Amino acid sequence: MMFAAMAAIALAIGIVNALSGAQDAAWRGDSADIGRRLFWEMTSIIVILALVPILMLAVRHMRQTTGLAARTGMGVAALLGFSALHIAGMVGLRKVMLWLAGSAYDFHFSLASVLYEFRKDVVTALLIGATLWLLESRRELRRAAQQAQSMPAALREQPSPDLIWLRDGTSRIRVAPRDILWVASAGNYIEYSLANGTQHLIRGTLAATESELARFAIVRVHRTRLANLDRISGVDFKPSGDFELTFDNGKTLGGSRRYRPAVAALGGRTAPA
C-alpha cells in the first residue's frame, strides 16, 4: 500500500510537470510536444520507484545507527548512490526504449547536466526518505503497542526492575543494566556504551541518569562519565590520584581522583592517598 501510494503520487507529479512544461513551451511559441514530455517524466519516475527499496534500506540502517556523524555519512552516501543510479537508469531506459522505437537518445553528458539532475534528485530523495522515516517510526510504535497489549496485565503494570528503556529519537530500546559498560555526557545528550560495542545517544542529563542508574551499581567516576562497577575487572590508580578502569571485555575508561572513593573498595583494595 505504501509503495502504491508513492507510485500514484509520483505519477500525478510527473503528469503535472509534463503538462506544465508543455504549456510553458506553448506560451513561448515552441512546440508543446506533450507526448515527449510525458515520456521523459515517466522514464524518470519508473527508475525512482525501482530505487525506493534502496532508500528504505538506507533509512533502516540510519535508524539503527547512533551518532549524528555516522547517520550523516550514511545519508550522504545513500543520496549520492541514489542520484548516480537514477541518472544511469533513466538514461539507459530512454536509450533502450527509443532504440526499440527506431530512434535515438542523447543525454548530452556534461557537468552542468549532471548537476541539474542531481539537484532534483536531492529533493526527491529527501522527500521519499523523510516519508519512509515517518512510516518506520509509526510502524515501530504500533509494534511496541501491540507487544505491550500482548503482555500479561501484571507485567504491564509492573515493569521489570532488571530492564530499562532508552528513548532513541522516536523509537524505544530495551536494555539490561548488566549490558551497560559506561554512560558519558555528550552535550545535551547521554551516550550509552554497551558491552557488545553498540552505542545509543539519548537526549538527557548525566545527573538525571546517575539517579536512575544508581541502584544498578552504575556510579559516577568522572565529571562526564558513569561506570558499571559490576563489569569492572581491574582498577589502576595513578600517582596523580586519577585512575583507569578495565572492564571484563577488555575496554578501559578513565576516572578522576575526585570520584575515586566510588571505586576504592573494588577488589578489597584501598585507593592511595
79-93, 112-126, 154-168: which range is least confident on average? 154-168
Return the C-alpha cell found at 229: 562497577
Between CA 199 and CA 217 the distance in angstroms is 20
Q: Are residue 12 and residue 71 in the same domain, yes or no?
A: yes
Question: What is the span of the domain harbouring residue 244?
Answer: 164-268
- 231-256: per-residue pLDDT in tens? 998 898 888 888 999 999 889 999 99
Q: Are residue 174 and residue 44 in the same domain, yes or no?
A: no
The CATH number assigned to the domain holding 256 equals 2.40.50.1020
Helix residue spans in 101-218 (DSSP H)? 111-150, 153-157, 206-213
Return the C-alpha cell found at 249: 571485555
Q: Are residue 86 and residue 183 in the same domain, yes or no?
A: no
CA–CA distance from 151 to each of 26, 144, 147, 173 (Å)?
Answer: 65, 11, 6, 17
Between CA 273 and CA 257 the distance in angstroms is 10
- 156-176: per-residue pLDDT in tens? 444 445 678 887 666 778 888
Domain count along the chain: 2
The last residue of a domain, from among 148, 176, 191? 148
Q: Is the pLDDT of residue 271 over 50?
A: no
Residue 37 falls inside a structural domain:
yes
Nearest to 174 by CA among 157, 154, 194: 194
Give the count of beta carbons closer than 10 Å to the beta carbon of residue 22: 19
Q: Are residue 128 and residue 181 in the same domain, yes or no?
A: no
Mean pLDDT score across all residues of the chain: 82
